[in-house]
Amino acid sequence: MLLSFRFANHRSFREEQQLNLTPVYPTAGRAGAEPAAVRVAGIFGANASGKSNVLHALAYMRRFVLRSDREVEPGLGLTRDPFRLDTESASTPSRYVVDVLIGGVRHTYGFSLGNERVLEEWLYHYPLKKRRRVFERENDDFEWGEESGRRADLERVAEITAPTALFLSTAARFTQGRVPVDTTDPMHDAYRWFFRFRTRLHVGLQRTPPPHYRWPDSHEDRVIVTGLLRAADIGIVDVALKDPVPDGLFPEPSLELEATEPATARQHRNVAMWAELRRLQRLQFSHQGLETSVDFDMADESAGTRQLLELAIDAAYVLRGGGTMVVDEIDASLHPMLTARLIGLFQRADTNPLHSQLLFTSHDAALLGTFDMEEVLHRDQIWFTDKDRYGASTLYPLSDFKPRKEGENRQRRYLSGNYGGIPDLSDDLFERALRARGEIDAESSQ
C-alpha cells in the first residue's frame, strides 16, 4: 500500500513535491476500519500543468528499480528528465522516495540520481513502529543495519553494483530464486512491491489496438471484466476466447547449439517471444443483434471499448492480487458514469478487500461530484496541479481548502477557478490571432 510519494527535479517539477495518501478526514461512511492510506487518488489540472508528470515520476522510479542493473551501461551516464527551464536544475540531482506499507510494516525506500551515476540510495523499515536501517548508500560506500540478514551476500552484491545501477535492483537479480516468496525480507518485499505495480500512461493516445490481449485466468477476474463491459451499455453481452496462435505459425526456436557456439541474447529473446505468443489468446465480443448475437473481433471495437477492456483487465488483476494501479487520463474515451463505476470498484471494501489502490489523472470535473447519490471521490482523494509563470509545477490537495459550511459544489468551484488548476484562457489573444489570420487571408487574395 502506497502511503506517500515524494519526488524532486523531474520534468515540470523543480522543487520537491509530495503525494500524501494518508487520510485527512475520519472515514465515516467508508466501509471497513480506519485505513492507513486512501484507496483512490485523482489528480486534476489544466493541460501541461504537470498532472501526468506526477504519474510519470512514479512510473520512472518503478522502471529504474526493476531494470537499472540491466539497461544502463557504466560510463554512458543516466537517462533522466530534470526540470529544463533553468540552468541550475540540469546539474541538480533528481530524487524519488516512497513510503509503503507491506505486511503491516512501513518501509521507506528512495534514491537520488545525477547525470552520471546513482548518488544516494536507502531503505528503512519500521517494525514495532521504530525505524531500522536496512542499508544506506552514498556513491559506492555502503552502511548496513544491525538487522540486515545475509550480510556477506549483501557485501558481495555491493561490490558488483555498477555506479549507474541501484543496489536494490542488483540484489534482486543476484538473489532471484534464493528468497522464498513467504519470507519477510525488507529488500525482497520492497522490490516485489514495485514489481506488482501496474502503470498505464497516456492510454487514450494509443492508435492501434494490440492484436492480442491476455484474458484473465481467474473466473473472478473475468466476472469483473465482463461486468464492466456490460455495464457500459455498449451492446456487448459476452466475451469469449478464439483459438490460440496456431501451431507452426511461429516455429519454436531452439537453444540447442553447438558446443563451441554460446547462446546469444537474440536467441534467448526469440525463445521468450515464442513463449509469450503461445500464451496469448485472441478475444471475440458478442453483440446482441436483431435476431441473434454477432461476434466481433477487437479491431471492430471502438477506442472507448478497447480502453475499457484494458483498464478492466488491469483493475481485475490489481483488485485480486493487491497492489497499485496508475492510469493517466482515465476518462479518455469513457463516459463519466463509466469512469465513476470503475473508480467505485476500488472504493468499496467488498470489491477491494485487499485495499488495492488506484491513482489517476483526469480533466473530467464530473468526477468531483456525485454518482448514484454518493461522492465519486472523497475530499482527501482529490489533488490538483498548477504552474507558475516560470513553468514550474506544484502539486497540492483539495484538503488545503476549507469546505464551505453550507456545502460545496466541487465541480462548480473547480471550474470557477476556486481551487486553481484550470487553464488561463485569453480571449483577447485568441481574437487578435483571428484578426491577424483575416488580414493575412485578405492580403493573399489581392
Does 68 share its domain with 128? yes
Specify burial of residue 208 (Cβ count, 10 A radius: 0-12, 13-18, 19+): exposed
Q: Is residue 204 included in any domain, yes or no?
A: no
Of 82, 14, 46, 55, nearest to 386 by C-alpha is 46
Residue 321 has pLDDT above 50, yes or no: yes
Cell of 15: 522543487
Q: Is residue 295 included in any domain, yes or no?
A: no
Alpha helices in 202-357 (DSSP H): 219-231, 265-279, 303-321, 336-347
Cell of 277: 505468443
Q: Regarding predicted confidence, which is higher, 340 or 281?
A: 340
Q: Is residue 443 included in any domain, yes or no?
A: yes
Does 272 share its domain with 328? no
Does 261 share its domain with 379? no
Cell of 26: 475520519
Tell me if 45 sits within 8 A of 421, measured CB to CB: yes
Residue 203 has pLDDT above 70, yes or no: no
Q: Is residue 83 included in any domain, yes or no?
A: yes
Confidence band for 280, pLDDT divided at 50, 70 and 90:
low
Q: Is residue 94 included in any domain, yes or no?
A: yes
Q: Distance between CA 178 and CA 347 in Å, rounded?
A: 37
The letter for the amino acid at 129 is K
Residue 253 has pLDDT above 60, yes or no: no
**239: helix, strand or coil:** strand
Range(s) of the domain holding residue 372: 1-197+323-446
| Sheet strands (E) in 93-131 | 94-102, 105-113, 118-125
Q: For strands 324-327 and 198-200, give the pairing.
A: parallel
Share of the chain above pLDDT 90, in %: 40
Q: Regarding predicted confidence, which is higher, 336 or 59?
A: 59
The letter for the amino acid at 177 is G
Among 279, 298, 332, which residue terminates a domain? 279
Does 153 share its domain with 270? no
Q: Is residue 63 included in any domain, yes or no?
A: yes
Residue 31 has pLDDT above 80, yes or no: no
Residue 208 has pLDDT above 50, yes or no: no
Q: Is residue 146 included in any domain, yes or no?
A: yes
Q: For strands 141-144 and 132-138, give the pairing.
A: antiparallel
Residue 32 backbone class (left: φ over 0; alpha: ψ -120 to 50; beta: rest): left
Q: For strands 118-125 and 132-138, give the pairing.
A: antiparallel
Confidence band for 430, pLDDT divided at 50, 70 and 90:
low
Does 178 share its domain with 90? yes
CATH at residue 357 = 3.40.50
- Its pTM stands at 0.81
Confidence band for 180, pLDDT divided at 50, 70 and 90:
very low
**Number of neighbours of residue 165 by Cβ within 10 angstroms:** 24
Does 340 share its domain with 400? yes
The number of angstroms, rounded, from the C-alpha of 362 to the middle of its chain's C-alpha atoms is 14
Does 392 share its domain with 261? no
Helix (H), strand (E), coil (C) string for 319-380:
HHHCCEEEECCCCCCCCHHHHHHHHHHHHCCCCCCCCCEEEEEECCHHHHCEECCEECCCHH
pLDDT score at 205:
34
Confidence band for 367, pLDDT divided at 50, 70 and 90:
very high
pLDDT score at 261:
41
Confidence band for 112, pLDDT divided at 50, 70 and 90:
very high
- Structurally, the chain folds into a number of domains equal to 2
Does 267 share its domain with 187? no
pLDDT score at 417:
84
Angle between helix axes 167-174 and 151-160 (nearest 10 degrees) is 120
pLDDT score at 209:
41
Q: Distance between CA 234 and CA 397 in Å, rounded?
A: 35
Does 266 share its domain with 413? no
What is the chain's mean pLDDT, rounded?
Answer: 80
Alpha helices in 298-409 (DSSP H): 303-321, 336-347
Residue 175 has pLDDT above 80, yes or no: no
Q: Is residue 222 included in any domain, yes or no?
A: no
Does 252 share its domain with 352? no
Q: Regarding predicted confidence, which is higher, 131 or 273?
A: 131
Does 254 share its domain with 192? no
Residues 6+ apart with CB under 8 A from 218: 316, 320
Q: Distance between CA 434 and CA 428 in Å, rounded?
A: 10
DSSP conformational letter for 3: E
Does 149 share its domain with 33? yes
